[in-house]
């Protein structure tokens, strides 16, 4: 083909998702595998969300409500913000793209940590803008270093709290000091995909900033704590002036009808949320103890996943775990060639993980 592809599109490395269970079982001819690679909810989906989606099934010949009226109202009420501050997305991933489309043009810069969630880089490059990477310091975000990299061309700073893939957090005080150094032409995005799991009282609460007069946008999702990753629904909370810009570049029916119904009901499902958070916290402790018993280094996390130092090639370790029917995530593409990341599963899944881990570890020594 003779297409004239922009160089910035050629510079995008395709996102490599966690391996789906079906694909593993097809390729290896095995059954009963487990997946701890995509930070999904071990308890499944909110039951209230499932009933609401089933009830919404007979209206699928209609376009969804393009304004997402009920979900936006419900979120605004729950979060104590004006409905004009809430933007729905086909997953919070989509809102990252709306932000780069609304705020960036070729040559502009967005600051992010390295590693961070790969979608920030992809969405920045897809509008011809440049990612500026700031290394982590012992797995923590170095906010002073990030502030030092701001220029006239900076349009967005992406923060992720708790951070994927490290599980570390930004404290309230650190962030307040950071904001003093951020000029008003820069939007600060706080991706809170895992905020429901954070237990540390010092953890930054982005909402305290998102409806004020600074250009701060908080991103949240129903994919993790509410177990709705497959239906694709997330949201952003930001000053109305910024939300209005996102609506200009948003597809009119981006939040689908089932997702809107499911998310509305999920917000009423405090039982499911509570069970999820307590299971995740208890199972992380179980996994930490199991790894300590094996003498393996890991990094405690404020999210539903954590990093493990396998002290050998992470890609090979990942492959060996696949053969045991356990899908983990190699961190090689994130710049950690000897780390893997797993999320907390059910007790049974975690026991299987630890048994497989021990076999692979002993085998590769
Ligand atoms: C999982 C995740 C999201 C959520 O993505 P959705 O598109 O809402 O499923 C956002 N940011 C980070 C860092 C994540 O890990």
pLDDT tens readout for residues 22-74: 888 898 888 889 999 999 999 999 999 999 999 999 999 999 999 999 999 99
Q: Helices 314-323 and 21-28: crossing angle, nearest 10°?
A: 70
Can you tell me which atom of ligand 1 is nearest the CA of 90?
A: 7
Domains of the chain by residue range = 7-44+271-364, 47-268
- The pocket around ligand 1, CB under 6 angstroms, is made up of 39, 91-93, 117, 160, 164, 191, 193, 221, 223-224, 229, 234
Q: How far is the CA of 351 from the centre of ligand 1 (A)?
A: 26
Q: How far is the CA of 342 from the centre of ligand 1 (A)?
A: 15
b/e sequence 311-321, b meaning 16+ C-beta within 10 Å: eeebeebbebb
Can you tell me which atom of ligand 1 is nearest the CA of 160?
A: 13
Q: What is the DSSP string of 197-250?
A: G---TTB--THHHHTSSS-EEEEEESSSTT--GGG--EEEE--HHHHHHHHHHS
Name the nearest CA neighbour of 260 among 92, 98, 49: 49
Please answer whether residues 183 and 216 qualify as being in contact, where contact means their C-beta atoms are separated by less than 8 angstroms: no
Please answer whether residues 36 and 351 qualify as being in contact, where contact means their C-beta atoms are separated by less than 8 angstroms: no
Task: Write down the pLDDT at residue 345.
Answer: 98
Q: What is the pLDDT of residues 271-304, one digit of tens each?
A: 999 999 999 999 999 999 999 999 999 999 999 9
Assess if CATH 3.90.1150.10 describes domain 7-44+271-364: yes
Residue 16's pLDDT band, with cuts at 50, 70 and 90, is confident
Name the nearest CA neighbour of 280 among 260, 298, 304, 261: 304
Task: Write down the pLDDT at residue 162.
Answer: 98
Atom 10 in ligand 1: residue holding the nearest Cα = 193
The pairing of strands 339-343 and 297-299 is unpaired
Give burial (CB, 10 Å; 0-12/13-18/19+) of 9: exposed
Q: How far is the CA of 139 from the centre of ligand 1 (A)?
A: 19
pLDDT at residue 317 tops 60: yes
DSSP, res 332: G
Residue 19's pLDDT band, with cuts at 50, 70 and 90, is confident
47-268, what's its fold?
3.40.640
* Euclidean distance between CA atoms 92 and 108, whole angstroms: 22
Atom 15 in ligand 1: residue holding the nearest Cα = 164
Q: What is the pLDDT of residues 171-199, one digit of tens each?
A: 999 999 999 999 999 999 999 999 999 99
Please answer whether residues 133 and 141 qualify as being in contact, where contact means their C-beta atoms are separated by less than 8 angstroms: no
Ligand 1 pocket: which of 120, 170, 191 to mutate (most atoms within 8 A of CB) = 191
Task: Confirm whether 7-44+271-364 and 47-268 share one CATH topology.
Answer: no
Atom 6 in ligand 1: residue holding the nearest Cα = 91
Can you tell me which atom of ligand 1 is nearest the CA of 94?
A: 7
Long-range CB contact pairs, 14-20, < 8 A, 24+: 15/118, 15/119, 15/122, 16/333, 18/327, 18/329, 19/322, 19/327
Q: How far is the CA of 254 from the centre of ligand 1 (A)?
A: 16
């Amino acid at each position: 083909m003779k297409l004239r592809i922009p160089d910035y599109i050629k510079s995008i490395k395709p996102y490599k998702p966690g391996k789906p269970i079906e694909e593993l079982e097809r390729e290896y001819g095995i059954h009963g595998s487990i997946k701890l690679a995509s930070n999904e909810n071990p308890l499944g989906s909110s039951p209230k969300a499932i009933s609401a989606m089933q009830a919404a099934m007979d209206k699928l010949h209609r376009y969804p409500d393009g304004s997402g009226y009920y979900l936006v109202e419900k979120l605004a009420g729950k979060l104590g913000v004006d409905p004009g501050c809430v933007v729905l997305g086909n997953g919070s991933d989509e809102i990252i793209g709306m932000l780069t489309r609304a705020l960036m043009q070729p040559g502009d810069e967005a600051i992010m940590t390295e590693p961070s969630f790969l979608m920030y880089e992809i969405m920045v490059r897809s509008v011809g803008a440049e990612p500026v990477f700031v290394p982590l310091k012992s797995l923590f975000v170095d906010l002073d270093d990030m502030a030092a990299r701001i220029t006239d061309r900076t349009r967005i700073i992406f923060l992720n709290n708790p951070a994927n893939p490290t599980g570390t957090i930004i404290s309230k005080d650190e962030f307040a000091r950071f904001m003093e150094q951020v000029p008003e032409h820069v939007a600060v995005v706080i991706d809170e995909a895992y905020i429901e799991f954070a237990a540390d009282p010092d953890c930054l609460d982005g909402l305290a900033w998102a409806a004020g007069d600074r250009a701060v946008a908080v991103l949240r999702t129903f994919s993790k704590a509410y177990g709705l990753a497959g239906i694709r629904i997330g949201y952003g909370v930001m000053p109305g002036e910024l939300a209005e810009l996102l609506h200009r570049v948003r597809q009119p029916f981006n939040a689908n009808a089932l997702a809107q119904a499911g998310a509305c009901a999920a917000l009423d499902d405090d039982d499911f949320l509570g069970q999820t958070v307590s299971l995740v916290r208890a199972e992380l402790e179980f996994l930490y103890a199991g790894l300590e018993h094996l003498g393996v280094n890991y990094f405690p996390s404020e999210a539903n996943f954590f990093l493990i130092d396998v002290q050998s090639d992470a890609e090979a370790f990942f492959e060996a775990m696949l053969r045991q029917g356990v899908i983990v995530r190699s961190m090689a593409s994130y710049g950690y060639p000897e780390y893997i990341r797993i999320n907390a599963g059910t007790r049974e899944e975690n026991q299987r993980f630890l048994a497989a881990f021990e076999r692979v570890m002993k085998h590769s020594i």
